[in-house]
């Protein structure tokens, strides 16, 4: 799933967080997949997040594959900061 998500969003010189790479949103996608396929969800949110931390790379609260993180790191080095998302 991570391979299909955008790597970096930029607004001016700020990196915009990609909410779809947030561990909570990723878990929601896993739950939705299992529900759509009439299956039990095989893990808790905590177990899922621990698995993410073991298998993928976290930057700025977002998860990337090993191949993707280099691209993000390059863009991050060129930006002034990571933009804060607003709830409202």
Nearest to 61 by CA among 86, 85, 31, 29: 85
Bigger pLDDT: 84 or 53? Answer: 53
What pLDDT sits at residue 45? Answer: 96
Q: Does any domain span residue 73?
A: yes
Inside any domain, residue 26 = yes
Which is higher by pLDDT, 4 or 87?
4
Residue 76 φ/ψ, nearest 5 degrees = -65, -40
**Does position 85 have pLDDT exceeding 70, yes or no?**
no
Q: Which domain holds residue 65?
A: 2-82
The per-type count for the chain, helices as H runs and strands as E runs, is 3, 5
Q: Is residue 88 part of a domain?
A: no
The average pLDDT across 70-79 equals 90
Is 13 a member of any domain?
yes
Domain assignment present for 87: no
Q: How far apart are CA 24 and CA 14, in angstroms?
A: 23
61, part of any domain: yes
Specify the number of domains making up the chain: 1
Q: What is the pLDDT of residues 54-71, one digit of tens each?
A: 999 999 999 999 999 999
| Chain segment 8-39, per-residue pLDDT in tens | 998 888 889 999 999 999 999 999 999 999 99
């Amino acid at each position: 799933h991570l391979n299909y998500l955008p790597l970096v969003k930029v607004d001016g010189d700020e990196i915009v967080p990609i909410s779809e790479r947030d561990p909570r949103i990723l878990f929601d996608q896993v739950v939705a997949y299992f529900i759509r396929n009439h299956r039990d969800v095989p893990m808790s949110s905590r177990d899922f997040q621990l698995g993410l931390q073991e298998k993928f790379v976290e930057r700025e609260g977002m998860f990337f594959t090993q191949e993707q993180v280099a691209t993000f790191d390059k863009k991050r080095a060129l930006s002034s900061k990571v933009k804060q998302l607003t709830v409202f």
